[in-house]
């Protein structure tokens, strides 16, 4: 890969057909003001456009999320980015697989290809710049030399502001079918799986997972994850949310699958927003061997017990 003045040339795997990024995702909530308060305090750049909110990260022009208003919190769609040269190949690919093409949701302007996945989730495939990283994201946890104080005074560190969206974990009805569908139809690959969870990466170079699945009886958003540069930022992010009243969370901890340090904050609708640092990276020229692991020792390496509601899909009509 070539680095010129901080610009990283997007990596790609020649010849292979596959999406390169989760470009963005969309969902609805009953109260946009609550969403604005939550995501602003999380450290995101929340912009009002028309009757919806859009989530950006500081200094990055990419729109990661669209949030509309609806009767309840509900996943709207997932948008996957492809290189311009591959778009026509995807059209042919979908026709060959006899995947029915759908219309975009009302009010969404799009030149993309819209399909429903095996769970009924609406998915767009569109030409987009590669928003997944093309190298491992920088991570640092500096140690002071002797005679120098390392930690700043509390509150002196400023607001934690994630650098980019890292991944999205959606509830699905059938994890095995979803792994196969996203591999066969969108060219993604399995990184690892354990119990009712599976983690997928992009073939053109991405984090260990840019999309993940969790077993449920209905589609839904379990969490979205946002990349920060240090363990300190993970912990400080958790504290900045506690200071604003978002006291329910899970962390600090370290995952096994993906290896990232994490803290999850419970959002106003019972799903989760993750500060993530130092997630594993799978380069475009590597064939990562997807494996199944025992869930009891692959979910997290260390950290507190997850709260029982961590795995509850509040978008399911059967959620209690
Ligand atoms: Fe995550």
Contact present, 121 and 74 (Cβ < 8 Å): no
Cα gap 307→305, rounded to integer Å: 6
DSSP letter for 284, please: T
3-state SS string over 129-165? Answer: CCCCCCCCCCCCCCCCCCCCCCCCCCCCCCCCCCCEE
3-state secondary structure of 279: coil
Would you call the peptide bond into 299 cis, given omega within 30 degrees of 0 as the criterion?
Answer: no
Residue 296 or 71, more confident: 71
211 C-alpha to center of ligand 1: Å?
9
Whether residue 175 has pLDDT greater than 70: yes
Query: Which position has the token pair 């950290």?
Result: 303
Ligand 1 mean position to 305 CA, how many Å?
A: 16
Predicted confidence at residue 152, as pLDDT, reads 85
Residue that is written with structure tokens 């995952």 in the block:
255
Q: How close is the Cα of 168 to the center of ligand 1, in Å?
A: 7
What is the reported pLDDT for 201?
98
Distance from the alpha carbon of residue 158 to the mean position of ligand 1, in angstroms: 24
pLDDT at 2 over 50: no
Residue 222 CA to ligand 1 center (angstroms) comes to: 9
Mean pLDDT of 171-196: 97
Give the global pTM: 0.95
CA–CA separation, 292 and 180 (whole Å): 15
Q: Measure 167 CA to ligand 1 centroid, in angstroms.
A: 6
Cβ–Cβ < 8 Å for 115, 123: yes
Average pLDDT, the chain: 95
pLDDT in tens, 215-246: 999 999 999 999 999 999 999 999 999 999 99
Distance from the CA of 261 to the center of ligand 1, in angstroms? Answer: 10
CA of 91 to the centre of ligand 1 (A): 31
CA-closest candidate to residue 31, choices 65, 71, 66: 71
CA of 41 to the centre of ligand 1 (A): 19
Query: What is the model's pLDDT at position 1?
Result: 39
> Does the pLDDT of residue 8 top 90, yes or no?
no
pLDDT digit string (tens) for 246-282? Answer: 999 999 999 999 999 999 999 999 999 999 999 999 9
**What is the C-alpha radius of gyration for the chain, rounded to an integer number of angstroms?**
19
Give the tens place of pLDDT for each residue, 95-134. 999 999 999 999 999 999 999 999 999 999 999 999 999 9
């Amino acid at each position: 890969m070539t680095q010129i003045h901080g610009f990283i040339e997007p990596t790609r795997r020649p010849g292979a057909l596959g999406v390169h990024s989760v470009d963005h995702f969309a969902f609805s909530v009953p109260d946009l003001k609550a969403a604005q308060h939550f995501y602003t305090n999380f450290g995101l750049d929340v912009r009002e456009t028309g009757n919806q909110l859009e989530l950006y990260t500081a200094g990055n022009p990419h729109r990661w999320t669209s949030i509309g208003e609806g009767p309840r919190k509900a996943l709207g769609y997932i948008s996957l980015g492809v290189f311009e040269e591959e778009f026509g190949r995807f059209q042919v690919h979908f026709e060959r697989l006899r995947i029915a093409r759908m219309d975009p949701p009302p009010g969404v302007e799009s030149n993309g290809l819209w399909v429903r996945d095996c769970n009924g989730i609406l998915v767009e495939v569109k030409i987009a710049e590669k928003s997944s990283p093309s190298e491992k994201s920088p991570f640092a946890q500096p140690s002071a030399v002797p005679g120098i104080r390392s930690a700043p005074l509390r509150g002196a560190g400023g607001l934690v502001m994630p650098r980019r969206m890292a991944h999205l974990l959606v509830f699905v009805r059938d994890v095995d079918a979803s792994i196969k569908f996203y591999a066969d139809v969108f060219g993604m690959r399995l990184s690892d799986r354990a119990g009712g969870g599976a983690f997928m990466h992009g073939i053109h170079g991405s984090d260990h997972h840019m999309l993940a699945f969790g077993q449920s009886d209905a589609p839904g958003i379990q969490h979205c994850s946002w990349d920060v540069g240090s363990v300190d930022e993970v912990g400080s992010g958790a504290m900045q949310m506690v200071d604003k009243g978002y006291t329910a969370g899970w962390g600090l901890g370290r995952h096994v699958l993906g290896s990232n340090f994490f803290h999850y904050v419970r959002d106003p609708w019972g799903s989760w927003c993750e500060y993530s640092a130092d997630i594993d990276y799978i380069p475009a020229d590597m064939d990562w061997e997807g494996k199944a692991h025992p869930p009891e020792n692959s979910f997290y390496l260390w950290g507190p017990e997850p709260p029982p509601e961590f795995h509850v899909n509040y978008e399911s009509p059967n959620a209690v």
